[in-house]
Structure 1
Amino acid sequence: MELPSNYLEEMKELLGDQYEAYLASFEQKTRQGLRVNTAKIAPETFRQKADISLECVPWCENGFAFDEKQTVTKHPYYYAGLYYVQEPSAMIPASHLPVEPGDFVLDLCAAPGGKATELGAKLKGKGMLLANDISNSRAKGLLKNLELFGISNLFVSSEESDKLKKAYPAYFDKILIDAPCSGEGMFRRDKAMVKDWLQKGPDYYVPIQRKLLLDAADMLKKGGMLLYSTCTFSVKENEENIAYLLQERPDMELLMPEWDEYFSHGKKEGFENCIRIFPHLAPGEGHFAALLGKRTDGEEQSEKCLKKPAKSKKTPVSDLKDCPEFAVFMQQITKPLSGKTEVQKERIYLLPEGTKIERGIRYLRTGLYLGDQKKKRFEPSQALAMCLKAEDFKKSVSFKGDDERVIRYLKGETLDLSDTEAENEKGWVLVCVDGYGLGWGKAAGGILKNKYYAGWRMQS
């Protein structure tokens, strides 16, 4: 691969005697990875159930590498939202931001959802995740991935950071910025990134990154944490941006989490707490990360995780008196759901506790989309199905992973229920694979009419 000469000079200065080893890494194969959705299944249980050959990713306890010959995106468990396909180094940011259930979390540059799905899983249905991406088209893909993962306590927006700052000042406990960058760490994986770098190098991205950092700092609560990451090696885009943030926001400080032994520490004096990952030293592509905190009352933080604000009282899902069919349907869900229901035209949403819809923000989703109320009927959403397991709904049918009817269902076909536990059921049925929700069907006379969302169907 022909690399730009000025880039090579910078890497030679950055790496010193490791420079030749870095160049040699371009002759090695890149790695494919997947990250298990811990909101639905434990990593060890997944390894036992899935017929996929996996190798642990050392810096992510629910991350695994796999042979690229395996078509993991055609596996039924992928459609059940049990994992996300992600390059191993890209697992670093979300796995090292210490999100806890009940946090209010912002993923500022979230599409296509690799980090956001992990942040949402770590919340375990408590608190709130706002996943934002400035590109509306990319934000639509982000929404799909979050719903596939069964993340219920979510808002998805497509907005400029300064507009979000006005709507959410000092609002979030944790913020992730996986910033747009020159992509030097991806040169080995994607040759097209070299061409992009020549057109838009580090100098193009630095102003964008600095604006994101300042706006994010203003949206962070006192005592909150912000993780900044890029997939580039440039000191300009990394340590110098952190220095700029600390200068402009004196209440921010650089923290020192327990970084993995595979990581190389910062290359600028005073910024050793930042880390990089190099492909010649670790099983992944290039990445940078820095964890920062906002001081409380002008004093430095003494602990990684600070005291949480008081949690609001839980309120049950309302029955919506003008839609009795909704109430009847919700009685079949045995999994506890709490929050405030809101009707937008025909659609019914469940907003996370303690949240509200802010004016002027371009939202793609506000809360869990439960379904549509229509004339004397309620139709549940695909998003709701993805939040449920077989035991969470009174009428369900669960096929084994190797049952050919799973693939037929995912392709939108009608199914015969004559030899299943749902043979005599009538009405809405939750369709599952090995107990994990895939979507809805409507049963009558031993036949299941397929209601799997058309836009998600498996292609032949």
Structure 2
Amino acid sequence: MNLPKEFESKMSKLLGEDYEAFARSYEEERAQGLRVNTLKVAAERLRDNLAIELSAIPWVREGFYYGKEARPGKHPYHEAGLYYIQEPSAMAVGEIVDPQPGEAVLDLCAAPGGKTTHLAARMRGAGLLVANEPHPARAKILSQNVERIGIRNAVVMNEMPGRLAERFPGFFDRILVDAPCSGEGMFRKDPDARSEWSPDHVTLCADRQLDILLSAAAMLKPGGRLVYSTCTFSPEENEGAISRFIRQRSEFEIAAAGAYAGFDRGRADWVPGPAADGLEETLRLWPHRIHGEGHYIAVLRSNGGQEAPRRKYAKTFSDTKTLKDYLAFCGETLRAAPTGDFTLFGEQLYLLPPGMPAMEQLKVVRPGWHLGTLKKNRFEPSHALALSLKENEVNQSLNLASDSSELTAYLRGEALQTEGTKGWHLVLADGYSIGWGKLADGILKNHFPKGLRWMGHF
């Protein structure tokens, strides 16, 4: 692999006798991994049911390696949101953030959603998860992954960190800053990262990372937990960024991050400038020491900061006249109607996570659990609602084998012949929700989204 010459020289100076092993790692096959979505299925059960050879990733209990010949992205279980395909070392980040059910959690630079979906699974549907992505197109992809995984308590936003800091001072229990970086840890995976690399780009990234960290710090509750991560090796963006941040925010200290076999510690002697105390508690993941790519992770704890001011909460409504078609749908289709704080985006009906603050004048992509569309005299359920339901939550369902021609036809958008009661049916793959169909006169009309339909043969 052709690496940037200045990068090679820099890493050789940093790593010394370790450099040869590091350089050889770029000629090896990169690790492939998937993380089981425990909101829908236990890791052991998926491992038993998925016809792909899996082996455990040591540092994350829901994570597994798979071989380069496997195609888990082309399996119906992927459409059903039973797992997220994620680089193995990146899974360590969600493990270290370790959010708890009921907390207010922010993923500040969240697209495409691997770490967001990991945090959501650990929260088990309780609490408020805000996933933010400044880039509009990437925010849309993030929202799609939140939907596929079946997350009910997430808000997806498209804002700059500084704008959020103005609105949410001292609000979050935990914040993840998976910072935009020079991407040196992704060189095996992403040729663009290699071609875009330069020393000037590293410096630019380090300055931007400091700005993002300062915005995140303003949003953390006193005593809260801030996790910083990158997928790069440059000390300027790792130990250096943390040191610069702590010089400006002295109420923060570095806390211990649990390490696993093969994880290295941060290096104070690599810092370009005064080094913060405790950098040996931060983590470095190297491709020549573990079966994964590069990552850096630091845990920061706030010992001060401002208490959150009293705040306004999001506008909601419970007008039964407006909701009558939704409630009629629930009575016919669901065993219990989702209730709580509703909001409308045009015709789109959402259920807000508990304790969601006011979002006026902020760019909100997804304000909560998307239930469906209030059309004239009828309610049409969303794909997000289907993917977040289990078989025992609906009155009518059609369960298809994951390897059946009927399920393949459904994923291609075809109507199916079946018997049953007229109305909405939840379509399942081996018992796991995958979409809606509407039955009339023995024909199940297909409601699998057009943009997701399988084309041709896999």
TM-score, normalised by the number of residues in structure 2? 0.92
SS for the counterpart of 1:201 is helix
Residues 128-167 of structure 1, C-alpha deviations (whole Å, 9 max, x = no match): 1111111101110110001000011111111111001111
| Residues 54-453 of structure 1: pairs in structure 2 closer than 5 A | 54-198=54-198, 201-268=201-268, 270=277, 271-295=279-303, 318=318, 320-331=320-331, 332-334=333-335, 337-417=338-418, 423-453=419-449
Contact 1:317 1:338 in 2 (8 A): no
Residues 293-337 of structure 1, C-alpha deviations (whole Å, 9 max, x = no match): 112589xxxxxxxxxxxxxxxxx9957323322112223423674
Per the TM alignment, residue 188 of structure 1 is displaced from its structure 2 partner at its CA by 2.6
2:272 equivalent in structure 1: none
Contact 1:149 1:386 in 2 (8 A): yes
Contact 2:257 2:282 in 1 (8 A): no
Higher mean alpha-carbon deviation, 354-363 vs 156-165, is at 354-363
- CA distance, structure 2, for counterparts of residue 253 and residue 214 of structure 1: 14
Contact 2:347 2:374 in 1 (8 A): yes
SS for the counterpart of 2:152 is coil
Change (3 A) 1:391 1:345: same
Residues 320-367 of structure 1, C-alpha deviations (whole Å, 9 max, x = no match): 323322112223423674430112322211001111332221111101
Higher mean alpha-carbon deviation, 378-387 vs 262-271, is at 262-271
Change (3 A) 1:46 1:234: same
The runs of at least 4 aligned residues of structure 1 exceeding 4 Å deviation read 316-319
2:52 equivalent in structure 1: 52
Give the letter for the 2:33 counterpart: G
Contact 1:182 1:200 in 2 (8 A): no
| Residues 14-53 of structure 1: pairs in structure 2 closer than 5 A | 14-53=14-53
- CA distance, structure 2, for counterparts of residue 191 and residue 346 of structure 1: 42
- CA distance, structure 1, for counterparts of residue 347 and residue 398 of structure 2: 28
- CA distance, structure 2, for counterparts of residue 381 and residue 229 of structure 1: 34
Residues 386-421 of structure 1, C-alpha deviations (whole Å, 9 max, x = no match): 10011111111111212211111111100011xxxx
Contact 2:317 2:343 in 1 (8 A): no
Question: Percent identity over the alignment?
Answer: 42
List gaps (5 residues or longer) in structure 1: 299-315, 418-422
SS for the counterpart of 2:198 is helix
SS for the counterpart of 1:17 is helix
Change (3 A) 1:449 1:253: same
SS for the counterpart of 1:11 is helix
Give the letter for the 1:174 counterpart: R
Change (3 A) 1:318 1:68: farther
Residues 26-74 of structure 1, C-alpha deviations (whole Å, 9 max, x = no match): 2211111111101111110100111111111111111111112112111
Give the letter for the 1:53 counterpart: E
SS for the counterpart of 2:321 is coil
Q: Is residue 454 of structure 1 aligned with residue 450 of structure 2?
A: yes
Contact 2:93 2:297 in 1 (8 A): yes
Give the letter for the 1:387 counterpart: S
List gaps (5 residues or longer) in structure 2: 270-276, 307-315
Contact 1:274 1:289 in 2 (8 A): yes
- CA distance, structure 2, for counterparts of residue 67 and residue 357 of structure 1: 46
Change (3 A) 1:445 1:200: farther
Higher mean alpha-carbon deviation, 192-201 vs 349-358, is at 192-201
2:313 equivalent in structure 1: none
Residues 248-268 of structure 1, C-alpha deviations (whole Å, 9 max, x = no match): 112211110321122100111
- CA distance, structure 1, for counterparts of residue 422 and residue 15 of structure 2: 66
Provide the alpha-carbon RMSD of the alignment: 1.8
- CA distance, structure 2, for counterparts of residue 344 and residue 187 of structure 1: 41
Change (3 A) 1:318 1:360: closer
SS for the counterpart of 1:383 is helix
- CA distance, structure 2, for counterparts of residue 338 and residue 253 of structure 1: 41
Per the TM alignment, residue 13 of structure 1 is displaced from its structure 2 partner at its CA by 3.0
Change (3 A) 1:55 1:335: farther
Give the letter for the 1:167 counterpart: R
